[in-house]
Amino acid sequence: MKYVDEYRDRDLARTVAAAIAAEADPDRSYHFMEFCGGHTHAIFRYGVQDLMPENVHFVHGPGCPVCVLPVARLDDAVELAERYGVILCTYGDMMRVPGTKQRSLIRAKADGADVRMVYSTADALRIARENPDRQVVFFAIGFETTTPPTAVALKAAEAEKLGNFSVFCNHVLTPSAISHILESPEVRDLGIVKIDGFLGPSHVSSVIGSQPYEFFAEEFQKPVVIAGFEPLDVMQSVLMLIRQVNDGRCEVENEYTRVVTEEGNVKAQTLVSEVFELRKSFDWRGLGTVPYSALRIRDRFAKFDAEKQFELSVKASREVKSCECPSILRGVKKPTDCKLFGTVCTPQSPVGSCMVSSEGACAAYWTYGRFRDQQPSKLEAAE
């Protein structure tokens, strides 16, 4: 398949791996945070870690929109579906994320709430048109990649004067999250999380471009390489990061040139700024309250804003204490550090968001990595 197979080529991978091994300085270590869950899954699915020298480490970041949504916002969505009796439309992964007391949208649906999985905002609009006597709320989550389609839906609802459609907006912003991580005591003062550079987001960058990362490359002196989601993209980006570290450079480089430009998708950016504005702060799972890290719907679209149309009263949200998702999302721990991993918590019975999402680190470890450290003989015995 064009633009896929050539980025999974075995011989090319061996060539890049040899260059990485040759250029990685054996007298130092390299710790690169991959912000996106898509990178985490590529690393595990294709065994990229196994092709790295022992001194090149991946630190998993918070780049999974399902994982970073705080429990309180999920509880709000459950309340919308149960208390207000709306048709709640959401993307598939959100259905199974456990909220307070393990209450999820799919459990609410099993108990009679009208929760529907959609593939796009257009699906949610269609449901609103087909059900004029019901209120339809789209539970919008995601980074900059999924924000433009939500903006399109809000503009369409305004143009059509849809009186029964609204959006529960939870769109968050990548650069503020990266800055927040770099300013955290674990990175800046305590040195618990070592970060020598970033594998920058790919899909997000197709919208915002490479330019927004220049601030923290300069300010925090961390190199950034925007990387595609295929295994060769990740490996080539690691090589570019190693070269920057070795040269003492802290620049923004773009490996994903087939999609990402410096300025990004200006049309999408204009659309987003017409419909949304910055929130002063937003709570992220794992990162806590992050200033100016999320969007809210502008007043012009207030009648399509579920937060203004419904009184959301969930006050006492609680996470499962032994779930290590918050530490994993900050790069402080790995999924295998969680004592629930693979025992109580599996994709079939997830305890935390990182095990549910298709981009979650725990799901990646479970699906591709849980037998990595076992000897072949043990694996054979297990079969």
Closest distance to ligand SF4 from the beta carbon of 378 (Å): 21
Sign (positive/negative) of CA torsion 189, 193, 196, 197?
negative
Q: How many residues in the chain?
A: 383
SS3 323: coil
Query: Distance between CA atoms of 48 and 349, rounded to whole angstroms?
Result: 28
Nearer to ligand SF4, 88 or 351 (CB): 351
Q: List Cα–Cα distances, 267 to 152, 154, 254, 257, in angstroms.
A: 12, 16, 21, 19
- CB 368 within 8 Å of CB 326: no
Name the minimum Å distance from CB 275 to ligand SF4: 33
Residues 6+ apart with CB under 8 A from 325: 67, 285, 286, 319, 352, 353, 354, 362
User: E strand or H helix at 173, and its extent?
Assistant: none
By the rule CB under 6 A, 276 interacts with ligand SF4: no
Contacts of 10 (CB under 8 A, 6+ apart): none
Q: For ligand SF4, give the closer residue by CB, 179 or 357.
A: 357
Q: Is 355 in the site for ligand SF4 (CB under 6 A)?
A: yes
Tell which one of 250, 362, 364, 369 touches ligand SF4 (CB under 6 A).
362
Nearest approach, Cβ of 341 to ligand SF4 (angstroms)?
Answer: 4
- Of 125 and 355, nearer to ligand SF4 (C-beta) is 355
Shortest Cβ 43–ligand SF4 spacing (Å): 17
Per-residue CA distances from 58 to 28, 44, 163, 198, 213 (Å): 15, 11, 48, 10, 19
Smallest gap from Cβ 70 to ligand SF4, in A, equals 14
In DSSP notation, 29-82 reads -EEEEEEEHHHHHHHHHTTTGGGS-TTEEEEEEEE-HHHHS-HHHHHHHHHHHH
Residue 352 lies near ligand SF4 (rule: CB under 6 A): yes
Report, in Å, the least distance between residue 102 CB and ligand SF4: 11
DSSP 211: G
CA-to-CA distance for 191 and 188, rounded, in angstroms?
Answer: 6
Closest-by-Cβ residue to ligand SF4 is 352
CB of 364 to ligand SF4, least distance (A): 11
Give 275 or 332: the residue with its C-beta nearer to ligand SF4: 332
Q: How far is the CB of 328 from ligand SF4 (least distance, A)?
A: 6
Q: Between residues 230 and 319, which has the closer beta carbon with respect to ligand SF4?
A: 319
Which residue number, 24 or 351, has a Cβ lying nearer to ligand SF4?
351
Query: Of 65 and 335, which has the nearer Cβ to ligand SF4?
Result: 335
The smaller minimum CB distance to ligand SF4, of residues 45 and 300, is found at 45
The whole-angstrom separation of Cα 177 and Cα 175 is 5
The 3-state DSSP class for residue 332 equals coil
Using CB under 6 A as the binding rule, the residues of this chain from 214 to 243 that contact ligand SF4 are none
Burial class (CB in 10 A: 0-12, 13-18, 19+), 87: buried
Q: Which residues are 341's β-sheet partners?
A: 345
E strand or H helix that includes residue 257: none
Whole-number minimum distance, CB 265 to ligand SF4, in Å? 33
> Dihedrals φ, ψ of 341, to 5°?
-60, 120
Count the site residues for ligand SF4 by CB under 6 A: 14
Smaller CB separation from ligand SF4, 70 or 352: 352
Least distance between ligand SF4 and beta carbon 62 (Å): 13
Within 59-98, the residues that bind ligand SF4 by CB under 6 A are none
Of the pair 5, 373, the CB lying nearest ligand SF4 is at: 373
Contact pattern from residue 312 through residue 351 relative to ligand SF4, giving x for each residue in contact according to CB under 6 A and a dash for the rest: -----------xxx--x------x--x-xx---x-----x
Residues that bind ligand SF4 (CB under 6 A): 323-325, 328, 335, 338, 340-341, 345, 351-352, 354-355, 362
